[in-house]
A and B are shown apart, each in its own frame.
Chain A
Amino acid sequence: MPIEIPKDKWPGKIRTVTLGALAADGGTRAKTVTVGGEGTLPFMHFETPTPNRPVIAIEIKDHKPDDWSPLLAEVWGEAMNDPAAWAKAAEAAGADLIVLALSVNGLDGKPTTPEAAVAAVKAVLGATSLPLIVFGPGQAELDNELLVPISEATKGERLALGICEDKNYRTIVATAMANGHLVTARTPMDVNLSKQLNILISDMGMPGDRIIMDPTTGALGYGIEYGYSVMERLRMAALQGDAMTQSPMIVTPGFEAWKTKEAKVGQGVPESWGDWKERAINWETLTTIALLESGAAIVVLRHPESVKRAKMAIEELMTV
């Protein structure tokens, strides 16, 4: 007797969002990246086909960061000194798109200037044909000061600009709207806060297909279970038809994993932690896998080996 497989039927689906614009559409990208569109829980292809696979972004900085793990410095080498070279290396490492995370300070120790930030963005756009996400340094005033000129200088590229937070989103959303860009909206691991920020941004007139949600996550061992469950709940709310939770989700397992002691350092740790490099890559990869299983559309990583493994996993997860 054939078994009747219980299938979920959902009224809603995740919104489709396209990053990057081709020359024909007013940008300079050679390819665009489209995420979202799913009408099921992650990878339940037997219910309805998954139209777009999750994608991998590699995070680069405008100049070599002084607080990244030596393992990352080792693997990216000289490229870290030049955002254009770093973006090229990231593309070669298999990135689907690039995240350029701007630093608070320049190499001279003074706050990053709008000119320097625009130059870095342009250099990256010139070096790679992949779509680009730009994160400000994460300080409200400085973010606005840098992101507005970037947005204007790259009009029509369909960049994603972040980070919009509940205390600072208006300026970024306004400039993104005016210049044909997208925004990423970050909230601290809470379903209602995610929804709330989405409402605020939508109320400004930003179309839904230009909003990406960043529900925030914790690394493996440092609160990943909170992010994991919030993402599962957001995905279910979206599928149940709640329009304000239907944006595709971006998460930053690379950033989270590489600030843990397990990944960051090799000295003065328990012997039972094993080989440093492999442990660090496992830390980043397993954080990523858990987030893919819970509904991430864009995962932002740092180490090329983790990128390789996550790519392999996505390939297999998309297999019907």
Chain B
Amino acid sequence: MALSGIQIYKLLPQTNCKECGFPTCLAFAMKLAAKQAELSACPYVSEASKKQLAESSQPPIRLISVKAGGYEVKAGNETVMFRHEKTFFNRPGLFIKVRASEGEEVIKTKVSTADAFKVNYVGIDLTVDGFAVEVDGGDASTGSAQAFAAAVKAVRSATKRPLILVGKDPAALSAGLGALSGENALLYAADSANWEAMTDLAKQYNASLAVSADSLDALAELTEKVKGKGLEDIVLDLKAAKLGPHLALSTQLRRLALKSNFRPLGYPIITFAEGGDGRDSVVAAQAIAKYSGFVVLDRFAPELIYPLLVLRQNIYTDPQKPIQVQPAIYEINSPKPESPVLVTTNFSITYFSVANEVEGSGLPAWLVVCDAEGMSVLTAWAAGKFDAERIAKTIKGFNVADKVSKKRVVIPGHVAVLSGELEAELPDWEIRVGPREAVDLPAFMKQALN
């Protein structure tokens, strides 16, 4: 039975020593209750309390961390089935897979290209999170072990990001792990045949271990065995060939962890997105929306990675805190007094859509961003957060009139209906209705604003 924050607090030392990283014991207790912290962070808790808290303090989905070179990919610690219930916390890591058989040179080129990839979305630079290296083209021969170690070295020479080592043969994987140092990789995968050797290997190299089985029953049995051998950093692999079963199993796992507090399956999920004709993109999209912690792609292509990274940002946005920009008057392309004044809301996607278009057009403009509580133009308007009064208040508040020689303000086409009221609010300003979509702004500015 899970304990409340107050119940947990009573079992803590109550010294507020802060060594757990939280300002007070109560704050720490609250985090434990929300299953977002681990009791081991408290060095002073008594053995008796520890025992009592052990059950309730563990997050229902264990936090797994794959680390290298200052990068960390975290998965697990989720607390809800649906993002609107609270939020999803740890964005699934996107990994790009290469095969040992591709040869060191090809691997290096591929990995360094993907490693250098960076794409900007609403002011945030997004990248891939790591790489997977697969043992292929051989059985347990020394040859494949050596080839694999060489492949891992080639990958490591081209990126500092975390790695997943993929294979069935512990000897080959061992050679691969031996080529790395000072990092926490993820091993994929233990099954009913190789689990003992794989568990030993993961323990020896401080790696996490993915386990794979044909049914949830068999999977739970296997994780218990691995745990019995002293390894708790486990990731689950669902052997589902189709999207439907994969969705069902992923949902069942999340429910078992969150609703039934079923420990043997309280671990993050790894999904391999495979298949031609765009199937890989669809599998990855489902994995991002529905509960995977690690997503491995078979190929690197910017036109695929970019939308997947954006989807991940969107799904993992905290619904209670829309991403916002600071309400202000933004200067784009060094505006002069005669440059136009454009108005929009402080929802970051809205702001960046508008700002990027204007910036791209090369035309100077004053972009006035109103505080619409982080909502887009239409939503804010419907909610009464982007009306004539607010726009007028913002224009006056930022003293826009002092900066411009031409008192003319352009409002988004979606709120054309506000123009009359705005004229009343800003009697000495000319109110112009701009296009509905940001993408049409440059043309509008060229044609209509001269």
* Chain A residues engaging chain B, CB cutoff 8 angstroms: 1-6, 41, 43-46, 188-190, 193, 218, 220-226, 228-229, 232-233, 236, 259-262, 264-265, 268, 270-276, 278-279, 281-283, 285-286, 289-290, 293-294, 305, 308-309, 312-313, 316-320
Q: Check B117–A232 contact: CB distance below 8 A.
A: no
Decide: A189 near B285, CB < 8 A? Known: A225-B319, A286-B311: no
* Closest-CB distance, A285 to chain B (whole angstroms): 6
**Distance between Cα atoms of A220 and B262 in the complex (Å):** 34
Which listed residue (A4, A218, A222) contacts B260, Cβ 8 A?
A4
- Could you mark each residue 38-73 of chain B with 1 if its beta carbon is under 8 Å from any beta carbon of chain A, else 0? 000000000000000000000000000000000000
**Distance between Cα atoms of A273 and B310 in the complex (Å):** 11
B119 contact set on A, CB distance < 8 A: 270, 272-273
Q: Check A317–B247 contact: CB distance below 8 A.
A: yes
Decide: A43 near B277, CB < 8 A? Known: A220-B314, A223-B376, A274-B302: no
- Chain A, residue nearest B284 (CB): A286
Q: Check A316–B307 contact: CB distance below 8 A.
A: no
Which listed residue (B303, B319, B360) contacts A268, Cβ 8 A?
B360
- Is B308 located at the chain interface by the 8 A CB criterion? yes
Given A273-B119, A308-B278, 4 additional A-B pairs, CB 8 A: A259-B437, A285-B278, A293-B247, A319-B243
Q: Check A273–B259 contact: CB distance below 8 A.
A: no
- Chain A, residue nearest B313 (CB): A221
Q: Check B307–A220 contact: CB distance below 8 A.
A: yes
* Closest-CB distance, B407 to chain A (whole angstroms): 31
Q: Check A309–B278 contact: CB distance below 8 A.
A: yes
Rank and list the top 6 A-B pairs by shortest CB-CB distance, nearest first.
A274-B303, A274-B302, A279-B303, A316-B243, A272-B119, A319-B244
Which listed residue (B242, B307, B353) contacts A282, Cβ 8 A?
B307
* Closest-CB distance, A55 to chain B (whole angstroms): 16
**Distance between Cα atoms of A265 and B382 in the complex (Å):** 30
**Distance between Cα atoms of A309 and B307 in the complex (Å):** 15
- Is B204 located at the chain interface by the 8 A CB criterion? no
Q: Check A279–B306 contact: CB distance below 8 A.
A: yes
**Distance between Cα atoms of A262 and B311 in the complex (Å):** 13
Q: Check B303–A273 contact: CB distance below 8 A.
A: yes
* Closest-CB distance, A231 to chain B (whole angstroms): 10
- Could you mark each residue 79-99 of chain B with 1 if its beta carbon is under 8 Å from any beta carbon of chain A, else 0? 000111000000000000000
- Chain A, residue nearest B315 (CB): A225
**Distance between Cα atoms of A274 and B300 in the complex (Å):** 11
Q: Check B282–A285 contact: CB distance below 8 A.
A: yes
B259 contact set on A, CB distance < 8 A: 6
**Distance between Cα atoms of A313 and B246 in the complex (Å):** 12
**Distance between Cα atoms of A282 and B303 in the complex (Å):** 8
Q: Check B308–A286 contact: CB distance below 8 A.
A: yes
- Chain B, residue nearest A257 (CB): B307
- Is B289 located at the chain interface by the 8 A CB criterion? yes
Which listed residue (B245, B277, B357, B438) contacts A308, Cβ 8 A?
B277
A-B contact pairs, 26 of them (CB 8 A): A4-B260, A5-B255, A188-B378, A188-B379, A193-B382, A220-B314, A222-B353, A229-B82, A229-B84, A233-B84, A260-B439, A261-B357, A264-B439, A270-B120, A272-B120, A273-B302, A273-B303, A274-B302, A278-B304, A286-B281, A286-B308, A293-B247, A309-B277, A309-B278, A309-B279, A312-B278
Decide: A44 near B303, CB < 8 A? Known: A272-B117, A309-B282, A320-B245: no
A3 contact set on B, CB distance < 8 A: 216-217, 220, 256, 262, 265
Q: Check A6–B82 contact: CB distance below 8 A.
A: no
Decide: A5 near B252, CB < 8 A? Known: A264-B439, A293-B290, A313-B243: yes
**Distance between Cα atoms of A46 and B245 in the complex (Å):** 9
* Closest-CB distance, B225 to chain A (whole angstroms): 14
- Chain B, residue nearest A263 (CB): B307
- Is B112 located at the chain interface by the 8 A CB criterion? no
B353 contact set on A, CB distance < 8 A: 222, 261
Q: Check B319–A229 contact: CB distance below 8 A.
A: yes
Decide: A286 near B285, CB < 8 A? Known: A3-B216, A221-B314, A273-B303: yes
**Distance between Cα atoms of A102 and B359 in the complex (Å):** 34
* Closest-CB distance, B306 to chain A (whole angstroms): 6
Which B379-420 residues have a C-beta within 8 angstroms of A?
379, 382
**Distance between Cα atoms of A271 and B120 in the complex (Å):** 11
- Chain A, residue nearest B376 (CB): A223
Which listed residue (B118, B265, B301, B349) contacts A278, Cβ 8 A?
B301
* Closest-CB distance, A224 to chain B (whole angstroms): 5
Q: Check B303–A275 contact: CB distance below 8 A.
A: yes
* Closest-CB distance, B30 to chain A (whole angstroms): 25
- Is B286 located at the chain interface by the 8 A CB criterion? yes
* Closest-CB distance, A265 to chain B (whole angstroms): 8
B265 contact set on A, CB distance < 8 A: 3
**Distance between Cα atoms of A283 and B242 in the complex (Å):** 22
Q: Check B244–A318 contact: CB distance below 8 A.
A: yes
